[in-house]
Structure 1
Amino acid sequence: MLVLTRRDVYELVPMRDAIDLVKQAFCDLSRGTARAPLRTPIEIPDAHGTTLFMPAYVPSLHSLGLKVVSVFPDNPARFSKPTIHAAVLTVSPETGEPSALLDGTYLTALRTGAASGAATDLLARPDARTLLVIGAGAQGPTQAWAVLCVRPIETIYVFDRNPQASQSFADRLRELVPDLQARVEVVNELDTVIPLADIICTATTARSPLFSDALLRPGVHINAIGAFTPEMQEIPPETVARAYVVVDSVPAALAEAGDLIKPLQAGIIREEHLRTELGEIVDGIKPARTSSEQITLFKSVGNAVQDLAVAAEAVRRALALGRGQQVSLL
């Protein structure tokens, strides 16, 4: 079995390639040719954590396997460890044998960024120049990296309740994008920068809206990737109600996305408002942005087809280049 580290995955699959892979995976998911059962979460109350088990099969990319990802918010304070840990196991679609084990922590950030990159490519205004990242943790830099791949961003505003995360954001982004040209500015107040943002990426575990809907500028595009349970919420219900909402998977969004479930339960929106999947836009079945003033919202709770699409490509390239370590389980 092949073992690939974070460094292996980073060097084998650049963000631009990951965006294309995720587009294909979402297209297959919307067509019904890919299979991704709703993930199974297991709560760990004593540690205030959640571990999620996420299988998927993407035939067009010859990819089958499982991701296990843990979100333990107390880790940084209690153990000086990251909030998110993950591993991806790929399985041969021909024989069912375990074929590779990959670091899933970086891969999760990569594929989540790639999903936002795909959505930004299809939904953001072509003249977008200003990006606001809310949540400067593990997901923040790859969100910015993905947006930089599809739009000529000149200024990146960064906000996080943890000052250390905000201050280290630029250095972590430059590790991913050594030739970074955009100006990175840490902000302490969201109200002053929300009206300046052409694109907003939210990557938090908030349980109430992060900003006021009234502050949004016309034509803004939002990638909301942080809130992944019915109890969590990053986006104001008023924004959800007036935006063109696109999701990664309708069944998953209706089961897990608090940003959408809470307005539904309050009667602010109806399910018909949430029927557009990103894969349908990739496939040309549903429209992308329809006007320069339209507010667009991509809500993602994450789907294992993203992980397995990127993982399969990393494994293919590693085998071709002789990268990684071979380990026998016998």
Structure 2
Amino acid sequence: MLLLTKKDIKRIFSMQDAVEADKQAFRIYSEGGSVVPLRVNIGAQNYEGQTLFMPGYVGELDSMGVKIVSIFPHNIEKGLPTVPSTMVLLDGTSGEVCCIMDGTYLTQLRTGAAAGAATDLLARSDAKIGALIGTGGQAITQLEAMLTVRNLTEVRVFSTNLERAQSFVARMQGEFANYGTVLRAVTTSEEAITNADIITAVTTSQQPVFNGRLVKAGAHINGVGSFMPNMQELDDYIVQRADKIFFDSQEAVLAESGDFIIPLTQGTINKDKFTGEIGKVISGILPGRETPEEITLFKTVGMAVLDVVTAYQIYQKALKQDIGQEFLFE
């Protein structure tokens, strides 16, 4: 069994690696090549906590796994992470655990790469201006993915707290200096998205975070943050206006995300508006962007197949490069 830390993963697995792993996962999922049971949620009422078990199996890779994610809000009082996560990877040919890795960074990496994969497939090749709305724990890899798949001259960053946006930009300008992209904190979401070619929203907001009427023709939008029925980052107008709408999993999005549950319930959109899953673009079943003027929209809520495929690829690279700590129950 191999133990891999966040530091180990960062040494051997780039964002470009993660984007390619997510493309593979999307294709496998949409082709029916994975088993993704409903996640199990166990509450710890004494501590207002809950732990989620997210299993998945990918026959093409002879691999399976389960990511264990806990949400314990009072951990902050103990100086502990409020959302600790661990990934357990199993050899699909024997059922034995072959690797345990940091699930927190894995989640950040594969979630950023999901939007990165969609952006690579759907955004205009000449995209130059990006907009990032939200500066929380997922924002770093969302920014990195955007910079990885397109040669951007500027990314505007908006948060409801300007100081937080400024602090984020200062840190990221140093961390991602090699891309040569100017990062700029802005005071409104309108300023962020005006004339932007790529817009990524990654918040837990229950109200739309930008005005869809200001999105320019030809833009690509990633909706990442809304993963519960009461959350809605995207306004009804942009959902109605988008020329093509793609999902990581249409079933999961329509069960979990208020971005689509709310307008469907209110009758402002219907399912005929949806194009399909991004995996079918990768397989060549569905076309992606067909004209420079199309507005494309990608919505992700995450799924276990992304964790399994990405963890498998990380594990394979770790074996080849002799990274990590070996452990035996002996």
TM-score computed with the length of structure 2 as normaliser: 0.92
- Counting only pairs closer than 5 Å after superposition, residues 53-132 of structure 1 correspond to structure 2 as 53-71=53-71, 84-132=83-131
Looking at structure 1, the residues matched to 208 and 69 of structure 2 have their Cα atoms a distance apart, in angstroms, of 25
Q: What amino acid maps onto 1:118 in structure 2?
A: A
Query: Would the aligned equivalents of 1:47 and 1:72 in 2 still touch at CA under 8 Å?
Result: yes
Moved more, 187-196 or 223-232: 187-196
Give per-residue Cα distances to partners, 1:196-236, cap 9 Å, x unaligned: 31111111111111112212111211111111111111000
3-state secondary structure, aligned to 2:140 = helix
1:31 partnered with 2:26: no
Q: What amino acid maps onto 1:131 in structure 2?
A: G
**5+ residue gaps, structure 1:** none
Match of 2:305 in 1: 305
Match of 2:18 in 1: 18
1:246 partnered with 2:249: no
Match of 1:194 in 2: 193
Query: Would the aligned equivalents of 1:86 and 1:104 in 2 still touch at CA under 8 Å?
Result: yes
1:121 shift after superposition: 0.8
Looking at structure 2, the residues matched to 129 and 46 of structure 1 have their Cα atoms a distance apart, in angstroms, of 50
Looking at structure 1, the residues matched to 25 and 197 of structure 2 have their Cα atoms a distance apart, in angstroms, of 27
Looking at structure 1, the residues matched to 54 and 249 of structure 2 have their Cα atoms a distance apart, in angstroms, of 14
Looking at structure 2, the residues matched to 43 and 227 of structure 1 have their Cα atoms a distance apart, in angstroms, of 22
Looking at structure 2, the residues matched to 106 and 67 of structure 1 have their Cα atoms a distance apart, in angstroms, of 12
1:171 shift after superposition: 5.2
Looking at structure 1, the residues matched to 313 and 302 of structure 2 have their Cα atoms a distance apart, in angstroms, of 19
The percentage of aligned residue pairs carrying the same residue is 42
1:231 partnered with 2:260: no
Looking at structure 2, the residues matched to 75 and 213 of structure 1 have their Cα atoms a distance apart, in angstroms, of 37
1:69 shift after superposition: 2.3
3-state secondary structure, aligned to 1:196 = coil
Q: What amino acid maps onto 2:247 in structure 1?
A: V
Give per-residue Cα distances to partners, 1:287-314, cap 9 Å, x unaligned: 1012222111100000111111111111
Moved more, 81-90 or 104-113: 81-90
Specify whether residues 43 and 120 from structure 1 end up closer, same or farther in structure 2 by C-alpha distance, changes over 3 A only. farther
3-state secondary structure, aligned to 2:221 = strand
**What CA RMSD, in Å, does the superposition of the two structures yield over aligned residues?**
2.2
1:50 shift after superposition: 5.3
3-state secondary structure, aligned to 2:301 = coil
Aligned residues: 329
Specify whether residues 83 and 99 from structure 1 end up closer, same or farther in structure 2 by C-alpha distance, changes over 3 A only. same
Match of 1:279 in 2: 279
Looking at structure 1, the residues matched to 44 and 309 of structure 2 have their Cα atoms a distance apart, in angstroms, of 29
Q: What amino acid maps onto 1:136 in structure 2?
A: T
Moved more, 87-96 or 212-221: 212-221
3-state secondary structure, aligned to 1:90 = strand
Looking at structure 1, the residues matched to 223 and 44 of structure 2 have their Cα atoms a distance apart, in angstroms, of 25
Match of 2:203 in 1: 204
Q: What amino acid maps onto 1:317 in structure 2?
A: K
Looking at structure 1, the residues matched to 249 and 312 of structure 2 have their Cα atoms a distance apart, in angstroms, of 21
Q: What amino acid maps onto 2:119 in structure 1?
A: T
Looking at structure 1, the residues matched to 141 and 231 of structure 2 have their Cα atoms a distance apart, in angstroms, of 21
1:125 shift after superposition: 1.2
1:42 shift after superposition: 4.7
1:127 shift after superposition: 1.4
Give per-residue Cα distances to partners, 1:128-175, cap 9 Å, x unaligned: 111111111121111111111111111111112345542342355357
Specify whether residues 80 and 162 from structure 1 end up closer, same or farther in structure 2 by C-alpha distance, changes over 3 A only. farther
Specify whether residues 155 and 55 from structure 1 end up closer, same or farther in structure 2 by C-alpha distance, changes over 3 A only. same
Query: Would the aligned equivalents of 2:27 and 2:282 in 1 still touch at CA under 8 Å?
Result: yes
Moved more, 134-143 or 42-51: 42-51
Looking at structure 1, the residues matched to 79 and 181 of structure 2 have their Cα atoms a distance apart, in angstroms, of 30
Match of 1:221 in 2: 220
Moved more, 228-237 or 32-41: 32-41
**5+ residue gaps, structure 2:** none
TM-score computed with the length of structure 1 as normaliser: 0.92
Looking at structure 1, the residues matched to 317 and 31 of structure 2 have their Cα atoms a distance apart, in angstroms, of 27
1:245 shift after superposition: 0.9
Specify whether residues 99 and 199 from structure 1 end up closer, same or farther in structure 2 by C-alpha distance, changes over 3 A only. same
Looking at structure 1, the residues matched to 72 and 297 of structure 2 have their Cα atoms a distance apart, in angstroms, of 27
Query: Would the aligned equivalents of 2:53 and 2:69 in 1 still touch at CA under 8 Å?
Result: yes
Query: Would the aligned equivalents of 1:84 and 1:138 in 2 still touch at CA under 8 Å?
Result: no
Give per-residue Cα distances to partners, 1:29-61, cap 9 Å, x unaligned: 000011212333456677676543211112223
